[in-house]
Amino acid sequence: MRVNDGRDEEETLEILNRLGVLQTGHFRLTSGRHSDRYMQCAKLFEHPTESAELCSRLASAFNDKLRRNERADVVAGPALGGIIMAYETARALGVRNIFAERENGVMTLRRGFRIEPGERVLVVEDVVTTGGSVMEVIQLLRGMGADVLGVGAVVDRSNGGIDFGVDFISLLSLDVTSWEERDCKLCRDGAPIMKPGSRATAGGI
């Protein structure tokens, strides 16, 4: 579900376009799929005022949706895309913030981060495409006894096509076409490829 339709979503898109977040070209995504558009949300988090505004909007949307006794105790995000976003969302909610990162290819909590059984956690990510990293974080937290309340994102690239099994709220929903490498029309046309994501992909540049 989106936070708001209409004007609020248009304002979010205006901010992302103004800050150079929405880019066009030939991209290899973190998932390994190829696309002609890429959301470089690191460009958003260069700007603290806009970052705080959008994360506060997301935090408010979850507070409006959840009953008072269901409010989050912790906000968690996957490294790297979810680190700053989790911090800003947690700051808006006035709760604790942690992030998960990969160790030997497996998502884990390090740096002394802990989740106590029964703690209510909101998981956030900058951009959701396939939802793989978010699902790994959800499974990690549930394995520690956490109650995962929902998932939040700046951009849902699946246009509502992902089901995390909990409430999913995004500031902006886009239907961005992507292809498996073997089916990529841009590869067939010989277009140079960029891999702007933060996670290593086999054969990536």
- Domain CATH for 34: 3.40.50.2020
Q: In the predicted model, is pLDDT for residue 5 greater than 50?
A: no
Q: How far is CA 101 from the centre of its chain?
A: 14
| Residue 201 placed within a domain | no
CA distances in angstroms from 36 to 39, 50, 130, listed in the order given: 11, 25, 16
Kindly state whether residue 14 falls inside one of the protein's structural domains.
Answer: yes
**Higher pLDDT, residue 78 or 194:** 78
**3 state SS of 143:** helix
One-letter amino acid identity for 130?
A: T
Q: For tokens 């949307």, name the residue.
A: 61
User: Could you tell me if residue 2 is inside a domain?
Assistant: no
Say if 1 falls within a structural domain. Answer: no
Half-sphere exposure of residue 56, counting CA atoms within 13 Å on the CB side? 7
Q: What is the count of structural domains for the chain? A: 1
Asked whether the predicted pLDDT for residue 55 surpasses 90, the reply is: yes
Asked whether residue 106 is assigned to any structural domain, the reply reads yes
Q: Which domain holds residue 120?
A: 7-188
What integer pLDDT is reported at residue 77 of this predicted model?
A: 96
Verdict on whether the full-model pTM lies above 0.85: no
- Of residues 187 and 7, the one with the higher pLDDT is 187
How many C-alpha atoms does 25 have within 13 Å on its Cβ side? Answer: 14
Q: How far apart are CA 119 and CA 122, in angstroms?
A: 10
- Is the predicted pLDDT of residue 105 greater than 60, yes or no? yes
- Per-residue pLDDT at 84 exceeds 90: yes
Q: Look at residue 69 and tell me whether its pLDDT is greater than 60.
A: yes
> Widest CA span of the chain, in angstroms?
55
